Structure formats: C-alpha cells, structure tokens
Structure 1
Amino acid sequence: MRTLFSAQTTKVIALSAFVLIASGCTPKTQMLTPGATDEPITMGLSAKDFEQASVDAVQSLLSSGAVDRNDGKKNIMVISSIINDTMQRIDTDQLVKKIRIELLRSGKVMTTTAIGLNGAEDQMNSVYSELRESRKVDRNSLVKQSFTAPNMSLSGKIIQRNNRVDDDRQLVEYYFQLSLTDLKHGLAVWEGETPIRKIGSAKGTSW
C-alpha cells in the first residue's frame, strides 16, 4: 500500500514539475509601444519598416515643393497602383495609408476616394447615386454629387533582394519606390526611394 502511494505521489510531483517547467519556457505576451527599442526585429517587413518608409517619403515629398501651390487650393491625389514585388504577402495599403495621413495633415494634399483604377475606393460614392431611385429615401435630403477630379497620382513598387553574405548570414534589402505624377502633363514631379537593409541568419526566411 505504501509502495502504491509513493508511486502515485511521484507521478504527481513529476507532472507538476513538467507543467511548471513548460510554463516557464513559454514566452510571455507583451504590449509593445510603437517605435520602442524592445520591438522585435524580423527579416521580413514590419510595421516599423512601413513607418520609416512613409515618414521618409512624406518628408522628401514636402521638402521638394512638388505639392506647393500659390493659388490657395489643395492638390487632389489619386492612389494608382503600389506593386508588391517581394516574397511576402503584404498589404500595400498599410504604406499608402500612412502617407495619406501625413499628407492630409500637411494641408497641401487631399485624396479622392471616389476615383481609382478599380473604381471608387469608398463604394458609398457609387451607391449614393442609386439612392435617388429608392422610394425609402427622402429625395429632398439628397445632395447633388459632383466629384473633384484628381490632378496628381501616386504610384510605386516595393522590391526585395536577397544576397548571401557568407555561409551563416544573408542580407535582405527592401526598396520602397514611389512616384508622384502631374496628371495635367503626365510628368513625374517627384520620385523617392527608401532602402531598408537587414542582415541575419542564412537559415531563416524573410517571409
């Protein structure tokens, strides 16, 4: 009887020790402040990388004078296409959104959501025109739509290049390339490129 009790006790202690050890080895979830020094660095693109690329692009664009006007009006920009030429599945809208926010804050640029390569970005622009045919809507409450055409277009590409440094390390380079086109003349009035380079283990992947 004592032998059986001792064996069961030993199993319980062993199981408890395993649970404690396993719990101690599990990384704790942490809340990271954007831009904090303890933010993990990955070989792939991170939110911090998009932040850096957008800040560099906006600063370069605004300092170039390409969006300055003397008539008191604001430029109307349409987002053309931002091509993802990397090995990762990324949402290019993450980069575009940050750029749009900063340009809007500058007071020099507004972005149209009614016109785009694939139709209206905000589908309500298109749906609203159909409300006039609905009997459920008070037609006197409808406003007459008059879209403002863009005079500038933003396009670009994100490129990835992988290079082996030695047997243990690889260099991954990302290039954020953007162009701003004056739609009146079809000429690029500003172009910018932000390189982001990372070096790490050759055994890992960057996607």
Structure 2
Amino acid sequence: MINLRKPFNKYITVIMLAVTLILAGCSSNVEYVTADNSDDAISLGLDSQDFEHAAQEALNSLLASNTLNKPGGGRYIVAIGKVVNDTTLRIDTDMLVKKIRIGMLQSGKAVITTAIAGNSKNVDDLIYDVRELRDNDEFKQDTIAGKGTLYAPDFSLTGKILQRISRTGKNKQLVEYYVQLTLTEIKSGLAYWENESTVRKLGSNKSTAW
C-alpha cells in the first residue's frame, strides 16, 4: 500500500516554514534612537510612550523656568490654545496636552480654565448650559452661577508637532518629530516660556511614517 501521509506532512512542513520566515522578516524591535542602537530598525510612528516622554520633558522645563511662580503666592490661570499637528500622522494632540495639564495642576502653581480654549474639545459646555437656566423656575436661582463669575486666563498654552524625514543609508530612514510648546501671557502677548522636545525614529525605507 502506498503511504500518502508522508508527502502530505512534508508539504505542510514546507508551508509552515515559509510562513514563519515571512513573519520573521516583517517583525522589528521598537526602541528610541541612541548612540548604542543607531543601527537597529524601529517603528516610525508616535505612541503613548513618546507623548509621555515629550510631555514630561516639557513639564520639567516649564516648572524649572519658574514662569508659574506667581508673586505673592496663588495660582495662575492657564487656557489651552491650539496644538497643531503638522505631520503625516493622525495624532490626537490631547494625549500630549492632557499630561501637561495634569502636571501643572499637581504642581500647585496653576489651574486650567475649561471655559475657554483654542480647541472646542477642551471646553466644558456645561459651564454655559447651566447659565442658560437663570430664568428657569424649576431651578433654585441662588444655586446658578451669576454673571461675572468666570475667570479670564493669565496664560495660554499653544504648540505644534512637526515632522522631518531623511535618508540615512543602509536602506534606512530617520524620522524626527519636534514637539514645540509656547506659554504666552494673555495681557501682554509676550511668550514667557518655550520648549522643543525631539523624538527620533529609525526604520526601513520601505516603512511608512503614518
């Protein structure tokens, strides 16, 4: 009797080996570019760890600048302006802004206004919805905020995320992301603090940065 099982098993083995080799060729390690790993391929996009790194670096710079040290004590009021995404990626800039907002609040040196912002996503609509109940008899009027109770901001935080792609040889490309932030005094229009954080990613020329 002819044994058809052996050729079939050999055929399956060849297929499994081919699939394994293909998957192995598609995988890569995810690391930051440093002097020690500059020859290693990494992913080219931005992730939550990148935002954590950029936000913490910016926050450390802001607090070290003493810009938020209010004379006589107390806290400054900061409004969140526009943070522009000028890259090929679809980035939720709120990931970056949120971490900085939390850091400023926890520092005890600033409070964040949600009554006004450069992006409507950072505005709390209930602030204004509740004020529209002033003539509604169903609500106790002394529990509704009166006119002239909102605080104008002292500073606005704005920013931009830029991207630059360059070839590095060895069939690789270097993608650099620049996270630029500015804190501007509303009254004078003067920038009291600025910072730029850089995230570098190295990968194959066949990889895409989006």
State the AA in 2 paired with 1:91. D
Equivalent in 160, 165, 181 of residue 162 of structure 1:
165
Q: CA RMSD in A?
A: 2.7
**Given the alignment of the two structures, is residue 78 of structure 1 paired with residue 89 of structure 2, yes or no?**
no
**Given the alignment of the two structures, is residue 44 of structure 1 paired with residue 55 of structure 2, yes or no?**
no
Question: Which residue pairs with 1:92 in the alignment?
Answer: 93
Question: Which residue pairs with 2:201 in the alignment?
Answer: 198
Q: Which moved more, 1:47-56 or 1:69-78?
A: 69-78
Q: What TM-score, normalized by structure 1, do the two folds share?
A: 0.78
Aligned length: 182
1:142 is displaced (CA, Å) by 2.2
Q: What TM-score, normalized by structure 2, do the two folds share?
A: 0.77
> 1:167 touches 1:202 (CA, 8 Å); kept in 2?
no
Structure 2 CA distance for partners of 1:94 and 1:118, relative to 1, 3 Å: closer
Question: Which residue pairs with 2:65 in the alignment?
Answer: 64
**Given the alignment of the two structures, is residue 144 of structure 1 paired with residue 146 of structure 2, yes or no?**
yes
State the AA in 1 paired with 2:209. S
Give the unaligned 5+ runs of structure 2: 24-41
SS of the equivalent of 1:73 reads: coil
Matches within 5 A, 1:83-122: 83-117=84-118, 121-122=123-124
1:73 is displaced (CA, Å) by 1.6
State the AA in 2 paired with 1:132. R
Equivalent in 178, 181, 205 of residue 178 of structure 1:
181
- Output the CA distance in 1 between the equivalents of 2:70 and 2:150: 21
Partner deviation per Cα, 1:38-87 (whole Å, 9 max, x = no partner): xxx62101100000000000000110111111211201001111010010
Question: Which residue pairs with 1:37 in the alignment?
Answer: none
> 2:174 touches 2:203 (CA, 8 Å); kept in 1?
yes
The one of the two structures with greater contact order (alpha-carbon pairs below 8 A, sep at least 6) is: 2
Structure 2 CA distance for partners of 1:181 and 1:46, relative to 1, 3 Å: same
Partner deviation per Cα, 1:115-158 (whole Å, 9 max, x = no partner): 12356711111111112233432324323351111010111100
1:92 is displaced (CA, Å) by 0.5
- Output the CA distance in 1 between the equivalents of 2:85 and 2:47: 14
Give the unaligned 5+ runs of structure 1: 27-40
State the AA in 1 paired with 2:49. K
> 1:85 touches 1:160 (CA, 8 Å); kept in 2?
yes
- Output the CA distance in 2 between the equivalents of 1:153 and 1:180: 6
- Runs of 4+ deviating beyond 4 Å: none
**Given the alignment of the two structures, is residue 188 of structure 1 paired with residue 195 of structure 2, yes or no?**
no
